[in-house]
């Protein structure tokens, strides 16, 4: 995958790109990242990239000219790949969206600053608008890094194991990941579950699935209506709810009665 990041502060990205998994992915040719300083395409002597908003209001608005010029100079007009605008008003970024965007061989991310973007950037340049959550940051650089990291780890070979993402939380079945353990088997009196030590793969797989269901039920029940649940999963959840009446205050009927896969 080739990623272009347009920002007023491209230097923010380099420290993160120069360590660990993303660094190896870049060195191995699995990921290419180009950062572009939007200010280089501002034509006035002060390299102005923002101005006051029409109609008044607080803050400054990013001007359309430098951003259009930057993106079109690099990617053509119209741009040859998806152009993602990082903005709190966009669709919420999640693992489904990550997999969707990771399928592209080339992608552009626009990081903003100040109060807002000129709306014409959203309407006539961006092909997608993504939000990483319902909160406001000082700029779009961290959201761009979050999106880039999520897309990069989905590229074949980046994690060194094509199966490494299959059991992640929010993976294809929509459940949270099961608990993970490593050595030592006992730490401060807390023991790794025996099922994970006995070498019985079938029992371990069953335990993992049950733990995924329990963790999602107790921590993120909002995910269950869209999760891929088998009849066996539904039976387990119903029994678990029966055995744990303290969860009865939550109405789970909406997903327990859904057609299962």
Q: Is 115 a catalytic residue?
A: yes
Q: Is 153 a catalytic residue?
A: yes
- Please tell me the distance from the alpha carbon of residue 222 to that of residue 224, in angstroms, as a whole number: 6
Q: Which of 168, 172, 177, 210 does the annotation list as catalytic? A: 168
pLDDT level of residue 106 (50, 70, 90 thresholds): very high
Q: Is the dihedral of CA 133, 135, 136, 139 positive or negative?
A: negative
State the pLDDT at residue 259.
Answer: 45
Q: Which of 65, 72, 115, 149 does the annotation list as catalytic? A: 115
- The pTM of the full predicted model, rounded to 2 decimals, is 0.84
Residue 42 pLDDT greater than 80, yes or no? yes
Structural contact between residues 23 and 32, judged by C-beta atoms closer than 8 angstroms: no
pLDDT in tens, 114-123: 888 999 999 9
Domains contained in the chain, CATH given: 2-152 (3.40.1280.10), 186-256 (1.10.1270)
Task: Work out the average pLDDT over 95-109.
Answer: 97
Q: Is 11 a catalytic residue?
A: no
Residue 226 pLDDT greater than 90, yes or no? no
Residue in 140, 93, 89, 95 with CA at minimum distance from that of residue 114: 140
């Amino acid at each position: 995958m080739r990623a272009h990041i347009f920002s007023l502060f491209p230097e923010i990205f380099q420290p993160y790109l120069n360590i660990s998994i993303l660094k190896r992915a870049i060195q191995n040719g699995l990921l290419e990242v180009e950062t572009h300083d939007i200010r280089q395409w501002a034509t006035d002597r002060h390299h102005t990239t923002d101005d006051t908003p029409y109609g008044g209001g607080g803050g400054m608005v990013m001007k359309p000219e430098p951003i259009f010029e930057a993106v079109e100079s690099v990617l053509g007009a119209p741009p040859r790949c998806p152009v993602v605008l990082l903005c709190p008003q966009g669709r919420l970024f999640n693992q489904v969206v990550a997999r969707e965007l990771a399928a592209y061989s080339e992608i552009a991310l626009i990081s903003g600053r100040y109060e807002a973007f000129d709306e014409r950037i959203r309407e006539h340049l961006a092909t997608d608008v993504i939000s990483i959550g319902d909160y406001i940051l000082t700029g779009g650089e961290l959201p761009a890094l979050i999106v880039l990291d999520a897309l990069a780890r989905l590229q074949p070979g980046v994690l060194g194991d094509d199966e490494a993402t299959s059991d992640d939380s929010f993976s294809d079945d929509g459940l949270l990941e099961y608990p993970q353990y490593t050595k030592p088997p006992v730490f401060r009196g807390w023991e790794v579950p025996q099922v994970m030590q006995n070498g019985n793969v079938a029992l371990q797989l069953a335990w993992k699935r049950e733990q995924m269901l329990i963790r999602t039920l107790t921590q993120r029940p909002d995910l269950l209506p869209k999760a891929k649940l088998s009849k066996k999963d539904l039976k387990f959840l119903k029994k678990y709810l029966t055995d744990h009446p303290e969860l009865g205050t939550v109405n789970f009927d909406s997903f327990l009665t859904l057609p299962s896969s």
